[in-house]
A and B are shown apart, each in its own frame.
Chain A
Amino acid sequence: MTTAIATAGWRFRKPSVLPGFGLTLGFSIAYLSLIVLIPLAGVVWRSAELGWAQFWSIATDQRTLNALRMSFGGALVAAMVNVVFGTLVAWVLVRYRFPGKRIFDAMVDLPFALPTAVAGIALTSLYAPNGWIGSLLAPLGIKIAYTPLGVVMAMIFIGLPFVVRTVQPVMEEIDREVEEAAATLGARRLQTVRRVLLPGLAPAILTGFALAFARAVGEYGSVIFIAGNIPYVSEIAPLLIVIRLEEYNYAAATAVATVMLAISFLMLLVINLIQAWSRRRFGYGA
């Protein structure tokens, strides 16, 4: 069926024998609109009250830019750390046996279940200069809590499950025969991993990256405890939103939110486009 492509010019979707396209897509779009798109449109609409000049001056204010850099930069670093270690954790959990494996596996969801404020407090109590880890690092002159590094730590914590849990099910579905075939054909293990396994996992890893990144960008509750929140230094963009709200300036608050939304949307879109491309190129299924 995949070969019946666009010889007939532009077509919304490729023909398929599977049923339910209209129903599922229609329902998805309706639900998406009701829960997400209409409410978010309200945010954008509210920020439009400002007028372009004012909107631009808020968006390009040095303090806003610094806060955006903190949020997006921190999220990027945290997502990259999570991609490496999250994939490793997923691999170890799927492929190896070791004592306590089930418990570690179950604990991966923890960063979601733990309220962000608790996570923030727990991390701060670990990494503050008088905490279990912070007190070990303090003599070395390394400060984590109340610095941008602390922000990244909190972001790693909240983003970890995304990578592990998107990669894990795909890994579990991988057919061992493919690896065996590669081995039979004389591939070394590292080659098999790099040339056979990773391309198949790439879409899931990329998804995990995108989600962990997106989540970290907007994070407030846990970061606020460990950040220090000094303007221009360790102030995150969501805090700026809260500050504007405290001034009853909803328009300015939603302006910062709109900027964040636009940047996140573009980055996610690019990631999803790359992914679609990589799926066509390497994917198993298609």
Chain B
Amino acid sequence: MVLDIPADRNVAPRSAVTESPLTRMVLIALALGFLLLFLVLPLLAVFVQAFAKGVDAYFAALALPDSLAAIKLTLLVAAIAVPCNLVFGVAAAWAIAKFEFKGKAFLITLVDLPFSVSPVISGLVYVLLFGSGSLLGPWLTSHGIQILFAVPGIVLATIFVTFPFIARELIPLMQDQGTADEEAALSLGATGWQTFWRVTLPNIRWGLLYGVLLCNARAMGEFGAVSVVSGHIRGLTNTMPLHVEILYNEYNFTGAFAVASLLALLALVTLIMKTLLELRYSRAGSLSTPH
């Protein structure tokens, strides 16, 4: 294991700004052990099943028209839901983190609320709102607008489920950063937008990235809420998670886990995006923030 132990061990109070190599090793081992148990093994189980019948079966399962339709739908839904929540997240974090006002904790709690709502219910709320038996239902039917059991319902349920992610990621970060940088920029004559783009945004880039990645991952992976509003029509309203369930229930374990493994590969996207962002900012920001 390669640890970045300072080259010269005689430099005096190393233990004061970092941990001893032994402590590091123990901490790393603990963390990785935990990740192994809770992330690596389940992931491995997915891939083992996906490739249980060989590579050909794996790709054959993905190339089925229904699988492709599910992948397309999932991408479409995420492409609408994530930007919506991105705009909200940044706006909410700005209002909450940069200003002091009454009832802030209450507002944050309302933002948190969708997390604690069971996916079973987050789908149901839209059924209660738009279903045939609801107040809006008859009006929608008479105007030929299909929200439930079609793409709009799936998008709404996804937005609901992923609602707090970006806001929640940004709020603690922006609160920690305070308002000094922005105030300085403003006093030097920058406009509000300039301040946001040039000062705030670079500062929150990591939080924003994590927020978007989480939001996107969850948007693509959501099962329960979408299941309630989808109608499960094969090739039409099945997202990838729903398609996984269908394949699994057809005893097509290879297919089910092949589609699931695609979702797991989203982690690779995370890796690439982080690396890109790191490269970009390490070049641009190397002067201002030496690390």
Contact = CB atoms under 8 A, between A and B. Distances in A.
A8 interface: no
A117 B168 CA distance: 25
A266 to B, nearest CB: 9
B89 to A, nearest CB: 9
Given A115-B221, A119-B42, A122-B45, A204 B264 contact: no
Interface string A81-108: 0000100110111011111001111111
Contacts of B163: 35-36
Nearest to B24: A96
B220 interface: yes
Contacts of A284: 176, 178
Interface in A179-224: 179-180, 182-183, 187-189, 192, 200, 203-204, 207, 210-211, 214-215, 217-221
Contacts of B164: 211
A106 B268 contact: yes
A260 interface: yes
Contact of A207 (B32, B172, B256): B172
A105 B37 CA distance: 15
Interface stretch (A25-33, A52-60, A227-235): A25-33
A1 B241 CA distance: 50
B116 A241 contact: no
A61 to B, nearest CB: 18
B16 interface: yes
Interface string B122-159: 00111011000010000000000000000000001001
A117 B245 contact: yes
B66 interface: no
B95 to A, nearest CB: 4
A24 B94 contact: yes
Given A117-B245, A121-B248, A112 B118 contact: no
Contact of B223 (A21, A42, A105, A115): A115
Contact size range, A: 35 or more
Contact of B16 (A21, A157, A188, A276): A188
A147 interface: no
A102 B17 contact: no
Contacts of B192: 18-20
Residue from A29, A89, A93, A160 whose CB has the most chain B CB atoms within 10 Å: A89
Contacts of A13: 99-102
B3 A92 contact: no
Contacts of A24: 91-92, 94-95
Nearest to A89: B31
Nearest to B191: A19
A54 B248 CA distance: 40
A286 interface: yes
B39 A211 contact: no
Contact of B101 (A14, A97, A126, A188): A14
A89 B264 CA distance: 20
Main secondary structure of the interface of A (DSSP, over half): helix
B252 to A, nearest CB: 13
B75 to A, nearest CB: 13
Interface in B242-269: 244-245, 248, 256-257, 260, 263-264, 266-268
B161 to A, nearest CB: 10
A62 B218 CA distance: 34
B109 interface: yes
A116 B225 CA distance: 11
Interface string A134-148: 000000000000000
A98 B176 contact: no
A39 B39 contact: no
B260 A115 contact: yes
A32 B112 contact: no
Given A169-B210, A241-B121, A261-B116, A85 B101 contact: no
B188 interface: no
Contacts of A161: 214
B173 interface: yes
Interface of B: 1-4, 13, 15-19, 24, 27-28, 30-32, 34-35, 37-43, 45-46, 49, 87-88, 91-92, 94-96, 98-102, 104-121, 124-126, 128-129, 134, 156, 159-160, 163-164, 167-169, 171-173, 175-179, 182-183, 186-187, 192, 195-196, 203-204, 206-207, 210, 213-214, 217-218, 220-224, 240-241, 244-245, 248, 256-257, 260, 263-264, 266-268, 270-271, 274-275
16 contacts: A16-B100, A18-B183, A28-B88, A28-B96, A39-B125, A105-B274, A106-B267, A107-B43, A117-B248, A122-B42, A126-B42, A169-B206, A173-B206, A221-B119, A264-B117, A283-B176
Given A96-B4, A133-B41, 9 more contacts: A16-B99, A39-B126, A98-B2, A113-B263, A121-B248, A168-B210, A173-B176, A265-B113, A285-B178
- Which 8 A-B pairs have CB atoms at the shortest separation, nearest pair first? A285-B178, A115-B241, A183-B16, A218-B118, A13-B101, A264-B116, A214-B116, A39-B125
